[in-house]
Structure 1
């Protein structure tokens, strides 16, 4: 698996990344997000200098990420392990019930000669 050279433009600066080909779409999506945030901050007039805008964009994006994580925690993430354990338990109970009642309805009438 070889790396691919990808050149992108963020806030008027060219950057080159060496990434695996399958990660290119994710990189381009991230670049678009960062570039958009930096452009918005820069055009707002509140920040001057690429480094300052980059730091402000990073903090803004981190804040968005943390807010999304808090929201997910408040809404209650699905406890996957608990769900799997419950499914196993229900399967075991169903299997036991099938074993207990497997003979019901299987008594065929005696064949007449």
Structure 2
């Protein structure tokens, strides 16, 4: 298990300290970059004013993207992880069976 450390990030010029395992820092930074870009796009459109409203609109847009990806692509990350785990168990069982042959 990776050690959890504080990581300083900036979103729309505001600094935040976020607890994050070391092995997930790269993914967190990518997420921060994505959120920052989405929020700036909304702010720059001029249709939404106020950081709180911009954050809510960004959250709604990102959630909409996620749900559309799941529905349109029939892709569910939880199901995907479950299937990978099942395949891994089957491979490990097959390898164990092969060890018994020799």
TM-score, normalised relative to structure 1:
0.63
Q: 1:21 aligned to 2:35?
A: no
1:1-44, CA deviations, whole angstroms, 9 ceiling, x for partnerless residues?
43211101001111101111001011001101100000000011
Which ranges in structure 1 are unaligned for 5 or more consecutive residues?
A: 85-113
Matches of residues 1-113 of structure 1 in structure 2 within 5 Å? Answer: 1-73=2-74, 80=83
Distance 1:16 1:22 in 2: 17
Q: Whole-Å Cα distance in 2 between the matches of residues 18 and 73 of structure 1? A: 32
CA radius of gyration, larger in: 1
Cα root mean square deviation, aligned: 2.8
Structure 1 residue ranges, 4+ long, deviating more than 6 angstroms after superposition: none
Give the alignment's TM-score, normalised by structure 2: 0.70
Aligned length: 83
In structure 2, what is the Cα distance between the partners aligned to 1:17 and 1:54? 17
Could you say which structure has the higher helix fraction?
Answer: 2
